[in-house]
Amino acid sequence: MQTYTEGLPSPRTARMPPKTKGKGRKTGAQKKKKKSSPDAEAEAKHRLVLLEKELLQDHLALQRDETRRAKASEDRLKQRLQGLEAELERARSEGKAVYADTCQREAKTAREETEQALREQEETLAQLRAHVANMEAQYEEILHGTLDCLLAKLRAAKPQWDAAVLRLHTRHKEQLRQFALNPLEL
């Protein structure tokens, strides 16, 4: 069925008789139509109904075509929307994966840095402990050496002190005896 939107004349104008050029009435022909029989009038109404029916059918065909085009367009848009939503979801999941990967890398880096710092602190602490132990050993050697030297000096000085004490003791005894005091009684 051809439509009038495709550049063809509409069914109404294609089937209608051409208009008369003259505006004047022909007395014989016009009078015949007015005197027409009920069959001719019914036939004219029947033709008019047929024309209206064809017009409505053309109109329905156009609406169906428009509906089909709109439905096809809607389907294309739905498919495109679904594609875009799927792409968006992929992008989100990729973004989450990238974010998660970045977080894992940052956490791993932070953990490695913390472990490295702990190792360095433990190494420093071990070095300090070794240094303290070394210093303790050196101070102990120095202390023992000094004490040994002091003992040696004391041993060397003891006979002199003993002699000096004995002399003092003897002198004090003599002084006490000079005063007629017995030092053992005191």
Give 165-175 pLDDT, tens digit per residue. Answer: 999 999 988 88
pLDDT of residue 16: 52
Alpha-carbon distance 49 to 19, whole Å?
Answer: 20
Q: What is the pLDDT of residues 24-59, one digit of tens each?
A: 445 544 444 454 588 888 888 899 999 988 998 999
The number of CA neighbours under 13 Å toward the Cβ of 123 is 6
Alpha-carbon distance 15 to 52, whole Å?
Answer: 11
Helical spans, DSSP H, in the chain? 11-15, 27-34, 38-178
pLDDT of residue 18: 54
Give residue for tokens 């439905």: 71
Alpha-carbon distance 146 to 140, whole Å?
Answer: 10
Alpha-carbon distance 34 to 38, whole Å?
Answer: 11
Asked whether residue 85 carries a pLDDT value surpassing 90, the answer given is no
The set of residues, in sequence order, having a beta carbon less than 8 Å from that of 1 and lying 6+ positions away, is 57, 58, 61
Is residue 36 within 8 Å of residue 43, measured between CB atoms? no
Within a 10 A sphere around the Cβ of 62, how many other Cβ atoms? 14
What value does the mean pLDDT take over residues 140-166?
91
